[in-house]
């Protein structure tokens, strides 16, 4: 029995040794008490055991302080990370970025074109403005826009806007004859007062619900989308090909491209300066402005009485 009890006491002492040495000493003091008479041990043992017990409580407190259990308090900061609110904010806060899947390529193209514009295009455009007499420059502008009237006419027909299609036809006929091949915009003056209304295949596609597709920023074209790129290419090529010479010749095509590019550059000069001076991110500002304007133009074609008439993409006068 003595050996069994001593073995049990050693096992108990080993289990209690983790909390502290004072508790282990108390366990060894209780083992010899079984060999003493039962009358004295309760009295003699109670005093020594009672005195370490109070000291054991405070001494046991430091090892088992709440400091090790404090890390669970660190868990609340990790919970907001699981909520993942930030990605949702990014997606909702930059809606137009979803239409720009090749953002890196477009931005590189934008930066290269801006450098070329500052070095070459802008100086040539200023020379075009200040070097040519204003009547001649206005005449070239009117002639270029007159060549776009056949595409405007067909587009209004496809959109079932027959009244506007008729006005475009009258405007093209008057300006091509009385206006000397479109050099003079006779139709916008009294008594006709028919304004220039841009339209085209890209607008027709948007009118019937075709999405704009990815946003692109291309050399010689600038901001556009896949839908607008296809539509503009067809609009600018089908009429010269249908008429034939001299509209389908290379020299004529180059002249129209160069003069048209300079005319467009002069028209958007103020907007470019505004983006460069006031926007922290001119590329995103240009993209968002273009996409917003095109969405408003398509919406106005589909629901003309619901939304206000958007401004044309380019002014009708340089």
pLDDT greater at residue 88 or residue 217: 217
What's the pLDDT score for residue 36? 42
Q: Indicate whether 51 and 107 sit together in one domain.
A: no
How many Å apart are CA 277 and CA 259, to the nearest integer? 27
Q: Which domain holds residue 28?
A: 2-11+21-58
Chain centre to alpha carbon of residue 161: 34
pLDDT, one tens digit per residue, over 120-166 is: 999 999 999 999 999 999 999 999 999 999 999 999 999 999 999 99
Q: How many folded domains does the chain comprise?
A: 2
pLDDT digits 0-9 by tens, 166-188: 999 999 999 999 999 999 999 99
Give residue 304's pLDDT. Answer: 87
Q: Is the pLDDT of residue 61 over 50?
A: no
In angstroms, what CA-CA distances link 160 with 152, 164, 210, 294, 302?
A: 13, 9, 17, 20, 11
**The tokens of 136 are what?**
């001649």
Residues 132 and 32 both lie in one domain: no
Average pLDDT over residues 72-95: 43
* pTM score of the predicted model: 0.66
Q: Kindly indicate the confidence band of residue 30, based on its pLDDT and cuts at 50, 70 and 90.
A: very low
For 254-267, write each residue's pLDDT tens digit: 999 999 999 999 99
| Token digits of residue 39 | 């009358």
Considering the domain architecture, whether residues 47 and 194 belong to the same structural domain is answered as no
Nearest alpha-carbon partner for 198 in 269, 306, 305, 301 = 301
Percent of the chain at pLDDT > 70 equals: 66
Q: Is residue 43 one of the residues assigned to a domain?
A: yes
Look at residue 161 and tell me if it is in a domain: yes
The more confidently predicted of residues 209 and 47 is: 209
* Residue 293, C-beta contacts closer than 8 angstroms, at least 6 positions apart: 310, 311, 313
């Amino acid at each position: 029995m003595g050996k069994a009890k001593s073995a049990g006491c050693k096992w108990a002492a080993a289990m209690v040794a983790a909390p502290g040495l004072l508790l282990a000493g108390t366990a060894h003091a209780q083992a010899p008490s079984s060999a003493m008479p039962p009358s004295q041990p309760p009295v003699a043992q109670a005093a020594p055991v009672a005195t370490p017990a109070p000291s054991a409580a405070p001494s046991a407190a430091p090892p088992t302080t709440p400091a090790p259990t404090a890390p669970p308090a660190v868990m609340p900061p990790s919970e907001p990370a699981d909520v993942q609110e930030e990605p949702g904010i990014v997606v909702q806060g930059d809606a137009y970025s979803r239409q720009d899947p090749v953002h890196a390529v477009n931005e590189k193209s934008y930066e290269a074109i801006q450098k070329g514009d500052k070095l070459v295009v802008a100086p040539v455009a200023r020379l075009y403005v200040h070097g040519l007499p204003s009547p001649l420059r206005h005449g070239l502008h009117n002639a270029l826009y007159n060549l776009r009237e056949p595409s405007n006419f067909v587009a209004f027909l496809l959109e079932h806007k027959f009244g506007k299609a008729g006005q475009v036809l009258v405007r093209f006929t008057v300006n091509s004859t009385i206006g000397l091949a479109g050099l003079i915009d006779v139709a916008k003056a009294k008594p006709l007062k028919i304004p220039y209304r841009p339209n085209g295949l890209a607008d027709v596609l948007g009118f019937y619900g075709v999405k704009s597709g990815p946003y692109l920023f291309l050399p010689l074209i600038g901001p556009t989308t896949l839908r607008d790129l296809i539509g503009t290419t067809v609009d600018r090529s089908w009429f010269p090909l249908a008429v034939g010479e001299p509209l389908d010749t290379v020299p004529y095509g180059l002249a129209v491209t160069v003069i048209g590019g300079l005319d467009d550059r002069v028209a958007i000069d103020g907007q470019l300066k505004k983006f460069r001076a006031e926007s922290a991110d001119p590329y995103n500002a240009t993209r968002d402005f273009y996409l917003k304007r095109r969405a408003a133009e398509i919406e106005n074609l589909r629901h003309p009485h619901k939304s206000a008439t958007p401004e044309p993409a380019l002014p009708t006068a340089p």
